Amino acid sequence: MDVLLGLLVNILEEGLIYGIMALGVYVTYKILDFPDLSVDGTFPLGACVTAALITIGMNPWIACLCAFAAGAAAGCVTGFLNVKLKISDLLSGILVMTGLYSVNLFITGGKATVQFYNKPTIFSSGLGGILPEPLRPYKVILIALLVAAVGKLLLDLYLRTKSGLLLRSAGDNPQYVVSLGRNPGRMKIIGLAIGNGFTALSGCILSQQAETANIASGTGMVVMALASVIIGTSLFRRVKWIRSTLAVIFGSILYKTCLVAAMQLHLPTNALKLVMAVIFAIALVANNMASGRRKKQNVNPTQI
Amino acid sequence: MSTQLKSESCQNGSLISIQNVSKTFNPGSVNEVVLFQNFNLDVPKGQFVSVVGSNGSGKTTLLNLLCGSVPADSGAIFIKGQEISALKEFQRARFIGRVFQDPSKGTCPELSILENMALAENKGKPFGLSMGVNRRRTDFYRSQLEMLHLGLEDKINLPVGSLSGGQRQALALLISTMTPIDLLILDEHTAALDPKSSETVMELTDTFIREKQLTAVMVTHNLKFAIRYGNRLLMMHRGECVIDAADEQKASMDTDDLLNKFNEISLEVGN
């Protein structure tokens, strides 16, 4: 029983933390239709920035904001490469991801991992410190939930503003944005900044939970985030009261559940990334099959 | 920021003045096509110009040159006396409204009718962090939609993607003329619709242009529409105007005149 509870706590903790990244990738992949690979670089960027700032004694919540800003800046670079320099979307992401590896090393002072044990983090100080005793074992879940919820609500709110509506049009029909007298490229850059900001924030929270920043923690993040987004949005599409932003967080928790379940089958730890890729492939195929069926059901009346 | 250009001292009072514009596609290659050579056109304010012509005659390129989707090789284009060659497409869109052949291009399919109209109404103003849809404007949007007589006023929260092509095109027309614009560009905007819907959309187009006193350039393959609507008719061939008839002269023309000219041209090029 305790083992199961431990697993559940682990699933929720990591599911919620990675769910913040899923929110960001939802913006780039689903809204802008931009397969953003720079996520593999911005996730550890968030972690490294946080480690560097907390080591010099900065308030951990402010470190979160700084991580978001650093990620957003990296997203702007991806957008700049794609929009202004006309480099393809995949290549722009790869360039930024590769470049960020050095940037991250520069931030950590050349070390592959930075530990900041016993420094105040969002889990140990402030809000995390004043939690009543019985809730202590769940402090990571509660605080990750708080960050994910605030992030989700702010994103929902933004997507209903004028700028947010324009962002949604930019992904859906860039020509419409042009007709409105606006530059769709600028909206793309804004979207990439938001997406990578959330990703870096996710890396920041994860590093505070582990009290370690690992320069290699970004590998596989694109796959994990995309899988969460696709699982979430396709499973909960029909449920009216679940918005896509909530669905992708659920998607992240579900993905983590699949991953933990697979690892419970006593697969070697080294197989983790392979399992991640396989689950993603299954999600993609299932999603394609489901949308194929839907297309057949709704025949376009103009094509009869 | 206004959605209309300030009127500068125009040399000849035209709203559009295209002067000595040349355009060659794929220059220097085997596919080189010299389309416009020192092309000139003046359109006075308030004129509704229909443009006909065979494929490759330069009709759509003319619109693209005006809207900025294709740059001219040389020459100058003035709107209200202002040179617009340096403006990008999205900058020109602030004073030029455009309805495309493809009904899905003029609206955002994922957003609701209400959200689309709210965005359109905000054209020319900054798109900041204030709420996108002002609920108090809903009644105004409804009254605008009622002018279309398509019952869209009752579907205001429906995503535009679920509307039919004709409904979308009517909405696109409404959206492109919601803010005051200097010029309306209609790019074969009824071509993808069924006969009934294209009649409806064409009637609406004419009503809007009259009521809002717009200057409009309409490219069409429908000779009947070209004859019936507008007060000037251009027939283009190889980047030149072979027919340019305005007002009474246009009123006296019928589709046979146009067909005869088409046949004449076809004989010339050996088809």
CB spacing of B129 vs A160 below 8 angstroms: no
Q: What's the mean pLDDT in A149-167?
A: 95
Domains contained in chain A, number: 1
Cα separation of A50 and B168, whole Å? 49
Nearest CA in chain B to A184: B90
In a domain, A175, yes or no: yes
Q: How many C-beta neighbours within 10 Å does residue A250 have?
A: 20
Across the interface, of B108, B109, B132, the residue whose CB is closest to A161 is: B132
What residue numbers bound the domain in which A28 lies?
2-295
Q: Which amino acid is at A57?
A: G
Find, among B37, B72, B26, B71, the residue nearest to B240 by Cα: B37
CB spacing of A161 vs B119 below 8 angstroms: no
Cα separation of A220 and B265, whole Å? 63
Chain A closest-CA separation from residue B129 CA (Å): 5
Kindly indicate whether the ipTM for this predicted assembly is greater than 0.85, answering yes or no. Answer: yes
Q: How many C-beta neighbours within 10 Å does residue A299 have?
A: 9
Nearest CA in chain B to A31: B110
Across the interface, of A160, A165, A178, the residue whose CB is closest to B90 is: A178
Which pLDDT does position A292 carry in this prediction? 67
Residues of chain A with pLDDT > 90, as a percent, come to 67
Do B47 and B215 contact (CB within 8 A), yes or no? Answer: yes
In a domain, A301, yes or no: no
Apex CA A279: angle with CA A276 and CA A283, to 5°?
135
Which pLDDT does position A232 carry in this prediction? 92
pLDDT band at B83; cut points 50, 70, 90: confident
Backbone φ, ψ for residue A234 (5° rounding): -80, -30
B224-271 tens-digit pLDDT? 898 888 889 988 888 888 888 888 788 788 888 888 887 877 776 655
Spell out the residues 6+ positions from residue B18 whose beta carbon is closer than 8 angstroms to its own: B39, B40, B41, B42, B65, B66, B75, B76, B77, B78
The answer, yes or no, to whether residue B33 has pLDDT greater than 90, is no
Cα separation of A63 and A48, whole Å? 11
pLDDT band at B86; cut points 50, 70, 90: confident
Cα separation of A16 and A4, whole Å? 18
In a domain, A250, yes or no: yes
Q: Which amino acid is at A217?
A: S
Do A49 and A106 contact (CB within 8 A), yes or no? Answer: no
Spell out the residues 6+ positions from residue B169 whose beta carbon is closer than 8 angstroms to its own: B99, B103, B106, B189, B190, B192, B193, B197, B201
CA contacts within 13 A on the Cβ side of B63: 25
| Interchain CB contact of A240 with B (< 8 Å) | no
A121-132 tens-digit pLDDT? 998 887 777 778
Do A280 and A223 contact (CB within 8 A), yes or no? Answer: yes
Token reading at A102: 């050095």
In a domain, A133, yes or no: yes
CB spacing of A183 vs B110 below 8 angstroms: no
Torsion angle in degrees (nearest 10) through CA of A159, A163, A169, A175: -170
Cα separation of B239 and B25, whole Å? 12
Which pLDDT does position B261 carry in this prediction? 81
Token reading at B25: 């596609």
- Please spell the DSSP secondary structure of A101-136, one letter per residue: HHHHHHHTTT-SEEE-TTS--TTTSGGGTTS-GGGG
Residues of chain B with pLDDT > 70, as a percent, come to 94
CB spacing of A182 vs B115 below 8 angstroms: no
Nearest CA in chain B to A30: B110
- A-chain residues within 8 Å CB-CB of B89? 178
Q: What is the pTM of this model?
A: 0.88
Per DSSP (E only), the strands in chain B are 14-25, 33-44, 48-53, 74-79, 82-83, 96-99, 183-187, 215-219, 232-237, 240-246
Torsion angle in degrees (nearest 10) through CA of A78, A79, A81, A82: 120
- A-chain residues within 8 Å CB-CB of B134? none
Q: What's the mean pLDDT in A220-229?
A: 92
The answer, yes or no, to whether residue B1 has pLDDT greater than 80, is no
Backbone φ, ψ for residue B24 (5° rounding): -120, 130
In a domain, A193, yes or no: yes
Backbone φ, ψ for residue A283 (5° rounding): -60, -40
In a domain, A302, yes or no: no
Q: How many C-beta neighbours within 10 Å does residue A264 have?
A: 10
CB spacing of A173 vs B104 below 8 angstroms: yes
Task: Tell me the CATH number at A290.
Answer: 1.10.3470
pLDDT band at A302; cut points 50, 70, 90: very low
In a domain, A124, yes or no: yes
> Based on the number of CB atoms within 10 Å of its own CB, is A131 exposed (0-12), middle (13-18) or buried (19 or more)?
middle
Nearest CA in chain A to B87: A181
| Interchain CB contact of B109 with A (< 8 Å) | yes
In a domain, A139, yes or no: yes
